[in-house]
Amino acid sequence: MRRGDPYGTHRVLEPKGLLPQPAWKLDNNMEIYSNEVLIDVEVLNIDSASFTQIEAEAGGDEEKIARKMSALVAERGKHHNPVTGSGGMLIGRVEEIGPAWKGKAGLRVGQRLATLVSLSLTPLRIDKIKKIHKDIDQVEIEGKAILFESGIYAVLPDDMPQTLSLAVLDVAGAAAQTAKLVRPGDRVVIIGAGGKSGLLCLHEAKKRAGVTGQVIGIAPRAASKKRAESTGLCDTVLMADASDALDVMGKVEEATEGKMADVTINCVNIPNTELSSILATRDGGLVYFFSMATSFTAAALGAEGVGKDVNMIIGNGYTRDHAEISLNIMRENPVLRKIFEELYA
């Protein structure tokens, strides 16, 4: 049995010399190398920006969505949306573990797990699309996937449904990064507060900012505004279009009495929200772009263009213990768990 590169470069077909994520095409032959894991895939949780784009291109038609997803994976050997550049994650059962596997310890055949690496770098084969859940960006399939030796994963917990676990783990990095970034007394603005990642960020923001801090949610519609308000985690929730930078700035200015945010977390799945995040933040403050719809060119040049001296962080979906931190929110916060169960489970 051949041994592969721990980072999966042996699976790259084109162009050669790249890592799997930036590569255009991967080898999705499911005969494993000695240091790979074969997964029998049950559910794909497509990145929100990617699913939104595919759904719009398909006009909302589920058969067209299925055809586009199948064609994408057949062409590239992975679910890597060429428009958004993003992928998602998966749930499946461990079918085979290579004898030279030296990844995270404790993995066993038959375990149900969620991969915590993007579908944009995961060799994937779709045999059949069984059901599409448009409201939660999840797709039930029959298929196989490969986990590289460097790949991270989470064994699904026994105390919550797998669809709930997947919904949380899909955006685990956002809440865990929020926990690292927010300090006691901070004014925190969360753009996209009524969405999946935004709701988890609200919990950590309130927990870390404490009674002397201020948590402001921004939501685009009445329903998402109401959802954010129902958590009891926001000092105020503003309804605003995140792509309207001047409107967002004005509302945050009023809510903070001109002080603006110390930390702004961008969790939306639409483009052109970079300047809203920057203008909502005080000079010397911090903007965390978790959204995969973010243009980092627009963010950098936009901040320069408006003369804002803010620190900007790329939304790394991984931080140490992010799975445990985010799953534990469901145990700590029964209100949020109820919302997630109603929306995603």
Q: 25 lies in a domain?
A: yes
Residue 162: predicted pLDDT: 81
Contact 218, 268 (CB under 8 A): no
Q: 163 lies in a domain?
A: no
Closest CA to 150 of 278, 261, 36, 280: 36
Alpha helices by DSSP H, the chain: 48-57, 62-76, 162-170, 172-181, 196-209, 222-230, 245-255, 274-279, 296-305, 322-332, 334-344
Residues 14 and 137 in one domain: yes
pLDDT along the chain (345 residues), means of 10: 95 96 97 97 92 95 97 98 93 96 87 93 98 92 97 90 85 92 98 95 98 97 97 98 97 98 94 96 97 88 96 86 93 96 83
Q: 70 lies in a domain?
A: yes
Residue 270: predicted pLDDT: 87
Instruction: Tell me the CATH number at 233.
Output: 3.40.50.720
Residues 135 and 179 in one domain: no
Last residue of a domain, one of 127, 156, 185: 156
Residues paired with residue 314 on neighbouring β-strands, in sequence order: 289
Contact 259, 282 (CB under 8 A): yes
CB atoms within 10 A of CB 230: 16
Residues 189 and 329 in one domain: yes
Closest CA to 315 of 240, 252, 264, 260: 264
Q: 165 lies in a domain?
A: no
pTM given for the model: 0.80
Residue 93: predicted pLDDT: 96
Tokens of 133: 């859940």
Residues 188 and 145 in one domain: no
What domain count does the chain have?
2
Residues 229 and 322 in one domain: yes
Last residue of a domain, one of 109, 131, 156: 156
Domain that includes residue 123, residue range: 9-156
Q: 260 lies in a domain?
A: yes
Residue 1: predicted pLDDT: 86
CA separation for the pair 169, 153 (Å, rounded): 10
Residues 147 and 181 in one domain: no
Residues 187 and 110 in one domain: no
Residues 151 and 288 in one domain: no
Q: 76 lies in a domain?
A: yes
Residues 116 and 214 in one domain: no
Q: 3 lies in a domain?
A: no
Residue 317: predicted pLDDT: 77
Q: 162 lies in a domain?
A: no
CA separation for the pair 231, 46 (Å, rounded): 25
Residues 179 and 229 in one domain: yes
Tallying the residues shown for the chain, one arrives at 345
Residues 206 and 103 in one domain: no
Residues 207 and 309 in one domain: yes
